[in-house]
Amino acid sequence: MRHKSTKRFIITILFIFLLLIIIIVIKKLSINGINDDTSEYKLSLASLCPYQESYTDQLTIECWDLEFDLISTGLSFPTEIAHHPHNSKILYIAEKEGRIRILENDNLQDTPFLDISDKVGSDGVEQGLLGLTFHPDYNQNGYFFVNYTNNSGATTISRFSIDSLNQNIAIKESELILMTIDQPDKIHNGGHIEFGGDGYLYIGTGDGGPSWHAQNGDSLLGKLLRIDVNHKEGYSIPNHNPFTANRNFRNEIWSFGLRNPWKFSFDQKTNDLYIGDVGLKNFEEINFQPSSSTGAENYGWLHYEGDICVSELSYNNERYQDRFGWMIDFEKVDCSDASPELNNGKLTFPIYQYKQQVTDVHNHEEQSDTEYHTHQEDICSGSAIIAGEVYRGQNYPYLDGIFIFGDFCGSIYGMEKDSYGNWIVVQLLTENDMTISSFGRNVDGEIFLAEYIKGHIYQLKSTMRYN
């Protein structure tokens, strides 16, 4: 009897062991999103796309059936996609002329959330209502923030409040102007604003046109600013901003040396920061700040475009003089260690840059939006980089942690670090008839895209396939 009992016990243990092995194997093979722990089946760009090139090259790949599904039409020059902080079904779309529209359950509401078109100057291609973000405590305080160029062309950062009786309507009269920055021209206004994981508001400003403002610590142009807006009135300077003890720099400055940071975004999981900086005539670039950054990064412009000194690049011996009287002779720009401007911060080169292939995008900057679109075939490819979002959604766990970005010409890329710490970049979609103005996400981390000329909103869809 004892021998039979021992035998049954051993058989039971072996059966349980075999069952555990089967469960583990099933979990390892599962890639259909059933398992909540995405780390079990996260696949990297390197494993999905074994033919990727080095970071200086691009290659169209067929690792995923990647597409963006049309979910809304009827918008007028959308410039920004912002998300409700607590409701994944609601997106807010900023329109260039000064309206904010609500997109709820893929249905565009007829009544604008806010209409400040009478306050917004939008004559220039790069002017208008450019930025929109919601306070992390929006459910409690009802605050949201916008970045627009006013009727004098100045950058304006304002706070608005919602109607307590109707959360689909903002109170226009509640505007509190926090900051106004004079602009020397109609171009390079930056525009994006976003809260970091530290609770502070980050503001991207362009250099206002080819100028030295990006390296001038007394100017707020060509910078990434960080301010504390958790006040009933105005704003304050965070204690740990890097230049609070430097009399040669404005205290609002977090980092500098940017040309036109049209879009940037924080990874909602790690709080790492990705900045897309639009190039002049040579390189488009992605700059990166880890969440551990203490600020003071100098991204090099106007001394560097990408990681190349501008004196070594071809600008056809051009010289520029902006409306403040600054004269720029590219051939005489000093990128040596003796350059006083480059010693003001931590010189930081892009993690990724690619060569523009354009005729002359900048000759179109004074045209209307419709005229600009008419000449799009002369502008592309590779023009006007659009920083996107790190995918943190639930629908496609194999995309988790991949930074999706693109450019105005419709190209879309994916980027992530490999196990050796190298940045891997692949081109996911080649140029098409889309003019991309913005990426955005909902609170759940699903990614959306705004098509500027047609006024369409798309949602990222993906199917993994094996070659």
pLDDT in tens, 253-305: 999 999 999 999 999 999 999 999 999 888 999 999 999 999 999 999 989 99
In whole angstroms, give the CA distance from residue 351 to residue 356. Answer: 16
pTM of the model: 0.84
pLDDT at 109 over 50: yes
* Domain membership flag for residue 373: yes
* Domain membership flag for residue 312: yes
Q: How many domains does the chain have?
A: 1
pLDDT in tens, 184-229: 889 999 999 999 999 999 999 999 986 789 999 999 999 999 999 9
The pairing of beta strand 99-104 with beta strand 114-115: antiparallel
Identify which of 138, 132, 223 has the alpha carbon closest to the alpha carbon of residue 437: 132
What is the domain range of residue 393?
A: 75-401
* Domain membership flag for residue 112: yes
pLDDT at 359 over 80: no
Least confident of 1-10, 118-127, 244-253, 334-343: 1-10
* Domain membership flag for residue 356: yes
Q: 316, exposed or middle or buried, with CB in 10 Å at 0-12, 13-18, 19+? A: exposed
- Per-residue pLDDT, 374: 40
pLDDT at 39 over 70: no
Contacts of 422 (CB under 8 A, 6+ apart): 55
* Domain membership flag for residue 87: yes
For residues 351-387, one letter each, b for 16 or more C-beta atoms within 10 angstroms of the residue's C-beta and e for the rest, the string is bbbbebebeebeebeeeebeebbeebeebbebbbbbb
The pairing of beta strand 308-309 with beta strand 166-181: unpaired
Determine phi and psi for 380, rounding to 5 degrees.
-80, 155
User: Using 50, 70 and 90 to split pLDDT, how confident is the model at 21?
Assistant: low
* Domain membership flag for residue 456: no
In whole angstroms, give the CA distance from residue 112 to residue 338. Answer: 53
Contact 166, 217 (CB under 8 A): no
* Domain membership flag for residue 428: no
Output the domain CATH number for residue 358.
2.120.10.30
* Domain membership flag for residue 446: no
